Chain A
Amino acid sequence: MVSTILIVIGVLFNLIGCIGLIRLPDVYNRLQSATKCGTLGTCSILVGTLFHYGFTEAGIKAIIAIPILFFGATVAAHALVRGAYHFGIKLGDKSVKDDYKDAIK
């Protein structure tokens, strides 16, 4: 029962993240919405899997997958947004502030 609730929460976060991935205007906004898919959504689904299996063989696999996903997704998103900025992709039309331009001088 607990596992089903956690999986429902995870799928809801994935839904919100995918709506943001399709609707938001530029790549930086899309990335901050879409990273929630990884950390909150799929980690919640994997915690639900762990509750379903308990500490069996498959549960240990879920325990291994959670930290890899949690840290891997955030590090990959950070590297991606940094590379996109250095590549020269502009911010959206409605963006009001760009502090990173002053920081890398």
Chain B
Amino acid sequence: MDLLEILLYIQIALSASCLYRIIRGPSIADRMVAIDIFGVLVVGICAILSIITEKGFILDIGIAWIILSFIGTLTLAKYLSGKKLNE
């Protein structure tokens, strides 16, 4: 087995371990942290997968995922601090 494939499986296992914190987390902020880090790990999966398959378009999925995760986390942080979304 190639080294990059082993790294890909490790990365998938790490992103599955974030699901533990999403299910278990005591407060809402723990779940949001875990969802944010889950998105970051999925971007890593996309990058490694694009090297293995030699297809460049998989990186586009990563870029879109970064931006959506960033906007979602900022919106939920605004909601937590008790402000309206246009302040």
Q: Which A residues contact B (CB, under 8 angstroms)?
A: 3-4, 7-8, 10-11, 14-15, 17-18, 21-22, 27, 30-31, 34, 37-38, 41-42, 45-46, 48-49, 52-53, 56-58, 61-62, 64-65, 68-69, 72-73, 75-77, 79-80, 82-84, 86-87, 89
Contacts and interface: CB of A to CB of B under 8 A. Distances in A.
A87 B37 contact: no
Interface in B17-36: 17-18, 20-21, 27-30, 32-34, 36
B78 A61 contact: no
A76 B59 contact: no
A52 B50 CA distance: 10
Contact of A87 (B14, B29, B74): B29
Chain A at the B interface: mostly helix, strand, loop or mixed? helix
Contacts of B3: 4, 8
Contact of B40 (A7, A38, A53): A38
Contacts of B44: 10-11, 14, 41-42, 45
A21 B60 CA distance: 27
Interface residues of B, number: 45
Contacts of A11: 7, 10-11, 44
A69 B43 contact: yes
